[in-house]
Amino acid sequence: MNKADMAEIGKRMDGALEALRKELTGLRTGRASANLLDPVMVEAYGSSMPLNQVGTVSAPEARLITVTVWDKGMVKAVDRGIREAGLGLNPQTEGNLIRIPLPEMTEDRRKELVKVAHKYAEQTKVAVRNVRRDGMEKLKKAEKDGDISQDEHRRMSDEIQQMTDKHIAKVDETLQAKEKEIRQV
């Protein structure tokens, strides 16, 4: 077990945190965000591709997202992709511009979104803990094989635990920020 292994553990924990941030951006709050349409896939040119590869997504107003489709022939496919993405959005087409008004959020919907955000955060914490477990197992094996001393094992194990604690705290921080954003009317 060396510095590169420790860096790898940190990188895997960072990856879990980044995945959480991506998941949370997809959660709709009261404000329009171009990232809201990130999960939308469009059937284009014989394959499925992300929406941002067939048009420009922007949020000109707090309750409106627009998509300017580059190829006029793709407008119907983009409209269908948005409707089928399960985001509860109802796009309106005008030429190659698609307007997507965001409905007002109800209190029940906000509570539901907070629960979903908590679920994402919990999954991320589990992922971070799994990375810690893998690291600890590597340490045990390295000590057993005689690659590291008992003192090094203890020191590195403390280092992994500190990394874990730091990442779990970041998960909580990210969740609190998103929760505040969701609850904001």
73 in the same domain as 16: no
96 in the same domain as 158: no
171 in the same domain as 119: yes
* Pairwise CA distance, residues 138 & 73, whole Å: 54
121 in the same domain as 80: no
Comparing 172 with 40, the larger pLDDT belongs to 172
Rounding to the nearest 10 degrees, give the CA dihedral for residues 25, 26, 27, 31. Answer: 70
* Pairwise CA distance, residues 102 & 113, whole Å: 15
Tally the domains of the chain.
2
**Residue 180 pLDDT > 70, yes or no?**
yes
Q: Is 34 inside a domain boundary? A: no
What single letter denotes the amino acid at residue 37? L
Q: Which residues pair with 49 in a beta bridge?
A: 42
Q: Is 21 inside a domain boundary? A: yes
Here the CATH number for the domain that contains residue 83 is 3.30.1360.40
Is residue 27 within 8 A of residue 117, CB to CB? The reply is yes
**Structural domain boundaries enclosing 173:** 3-25+106-183
Here the CATH number for the domain that contains residue 174 is 1.10.132.20
Q: Is 155 inside a domain boundary? A: yes
Among 58, 79, 101, identify where a domain stops. Answer: 101
Q: Is 32 inside a domain boundary? A: no
Residue 129 burial (10 A CB sphere; 0-12, 13-18, 19+): middle
* Pairwise CA distance, residues 39 & 20, whole Å: 14
162 in the same domain as 141: yes
Q: Chain-wide mean pLDDT for the chain?
A: 88
Per-residue model confidence as pLDDT tens digits over 69-97: 998 888 999 999 888 877 778 899 999 99
Q: Is 36 inside a domain boundary? A: no
Rounding to the nearest 10 degrees, give the CA dihedral for residues 30, 19, 125, 115. Answer: 20
Q: Is 46 inside a domain boundary? A: yes
Q: Which residues pair with 47 in a beta bridge?
A: 44
Q: Is 35 inside a domain boundary? A: no
Per-residue model confidence as pLDDT tens digits over 108-166: 878 888 888 899 999 999 999 999 999 999 999 998 998 889 999 999 999 999 999 99
Among 55, 82, 101, identify where a domain stops. Answer: 101
85 in the same domain as 55: yes
90 in the same domain as 116: no
116 in the same domain as 84: no
**Residue 7 pLDDT > 70, yes or no?**
yes
Q: How many residues does this entry show for the chain? A: 185
Among 101, 127, 147, identify where a domain stops. Answer: 101
pLDDT bucket at 185, cuts 50 / 70 / 90: low
**Residue 28 pLDDT > 70, yes or no?**
no
Q: What pLDDT was estimated at residue 154?
A: 93
